């Protein structure tokens, strides 16, 4: 059924640190790499070697310039955007076929592509643009939170994390159970005042974003002159020209 579970045993999700994300797109690239052979495979592309390539990606990294008034310095924010595995996942309830579902055991939102009719309504219902339509297969695809990695007993325990988390060179992505207050991700959210995206719309996303830390407005005092002035010649030919012309 596309009704949502009353409660989920866990709330598996991501915590993304906007302070440390360097915008390298490694998470998006490794996501594509893993998932094109994983649970949702394949992630097809249209015109991949042409001028305007287009295809299914579960993770997109935006960069924004944030102006914060005169007293606060501006920021460049790199912003990875993927499925937030919402508690009130409207993408699930709007699904007319039962292809979309939210798992009661861990809260992961998935699509059964064998049941999907490709009506695209779930992508309209997602405020974050997490779902992307596969033109080749005629079905909707989305982030699985690497369900085929996190429970994969053939991998070493430390590798049982989503591909995007493992690959992040800046350590900006964290995976864990956000329903457990003692988990690393919950502690991060508490310490750094993690925020949900568009909370006013009421979807209760599981993933949380850590806002950039406060920046220092003034430069440190290292004893340098506040201002340097151009040197004018005091004697000699150039000085004579300067004096003559200044008269």
Partner 1 sequence: MHPAFSVILFTTSSGAGYGLLALMGIFGAAGILPQDRWFGLSGLFIALGLVTIGLLSSTFHLGHPERAWRAISQWRSSWLSREGVLAIVTFIPAGLLGIGWVFLETTTGFWGVMGIVGALLAMLTVIATAMIYRSLKTIHQWANCWTLPGYLTLSIMTGALLLSALLMIFDEHARAVHGMVIFAVVLAWIVKYVYWRFIATSKSLATPSSAIAVDGAEITPLDPPHNSANYLMKEMGFIVARKHADKLRFISYATLFAMPLALSLMAYLSSGAMGTISAVVAVISAIVGVAVERWLFFAEAKHTVNLYYGATSV
Residues in 122-151 at the binding interface with partner 1, rule: CB under 8 A: 123-129, 132-135, 137-140
Contacts of 190 (CB under 8 A, 6+ apart): 181
- Tell me the pairing of strands 12-17 and 109-111: unpaired
Closest distance of CB 246 from partner 1, Å: 46
If binding means CB under 8 A, how many residues of this protein chain bind partner 1? 72
User: Which residues, 6 or more positions from 241, have their beta carbon under 8 angstroms from its beta carbon?
Assistant: none
Nearer to partner 1, 120 or 241 (CB): 120
Q: Are 102 and 109 in contact (CB under 8 A)?
A: yes
Where does 126-235 have alpha helices with state H? 147-150, 163-167, 184-192
Q: For 166-190, give the DSSP string.
A: HH-TT--EEEEETT-TTSHHHHHHH
Residues 165-224 that bind partner 1 (CB under 8 A): 195-203, 209, 211-212
Q: Which is nearer to partner 1, 67 or 216 (CB)?
A: 67
Near partner 1 by CB under 8 A, which window of 113-121, 146-154, 162-170, 216-224?
113-121
Give whichever of 84 and 108 is closer to partner 1, judged by the CB atom: 84
Structure tokens at 116: 């999907």
Among 108, 116, 143, 163, binds partner 1 (CB under 8 A): 116
114 or 182: whose CB is closer to partner 1? 114
H or E element: which one contains 139? Answer: strand 139-141
Q: Which of residues 9-68 bind partner 1 (CB under 8 A)?
A: 18, 23, 28, 51-57, 60-68
Q: How far apart are CB 125 and partner 1 at their closest, in Å?
A: 6
- Is 81 near partner 1 (CB under 8 A)? yes
The tokens for 20 are 């440390």
């Amino acid at each position: 059924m596309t009704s949502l579970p009353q409660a989920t045993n866990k709330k598996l999700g991501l915590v993304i640190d906007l302070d440390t994300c360097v915008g390298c797109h490694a998470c998006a690239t490794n996501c594509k790499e893993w998932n094109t052979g994983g649970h949702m495979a394949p992630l097809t592309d249209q015109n991949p070697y042409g001028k305007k390539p287009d295809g299914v990606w579960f993770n997109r990294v935006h960069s924004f310039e944030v102006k914060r008034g005169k007293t606060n310095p501006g920021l460049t924010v790199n912003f990875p955007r993927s499925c937030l595995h919402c508690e009130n996942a409207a993408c699930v309830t709007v699904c007319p076929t039962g292809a979309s579902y939210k798992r009661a055991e861990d809260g992961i939102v998935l699509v059964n592509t064998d049941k999907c009719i490709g009506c695209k309504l779930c992508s309209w219902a997602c405020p974050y643009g997490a779902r992307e339509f596969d033109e080749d297969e005629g079905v909707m695809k989305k982030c699985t939170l690497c369900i085929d990695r996190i429970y994969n007993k053939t991998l070493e325990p430390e590798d049982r994390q989503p591909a995007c988390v493992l690959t992040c060179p800046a350590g900006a992505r964290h995976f864990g159970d956000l329903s457990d207050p003692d988990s690393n991700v919950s502690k991060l959210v508490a310490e750094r005042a993690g925020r949900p995206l568009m909370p006013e719309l009421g979807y209760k996303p599981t993933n949380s974003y850590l806002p950039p830390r406060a920046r220092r407005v003034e430069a440190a005092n290292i004893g340098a002159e506040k201002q340097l002035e151009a040197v004018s010649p005091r004697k000699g030919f150039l000085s004579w020209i300067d004096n003559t012309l200044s008269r």
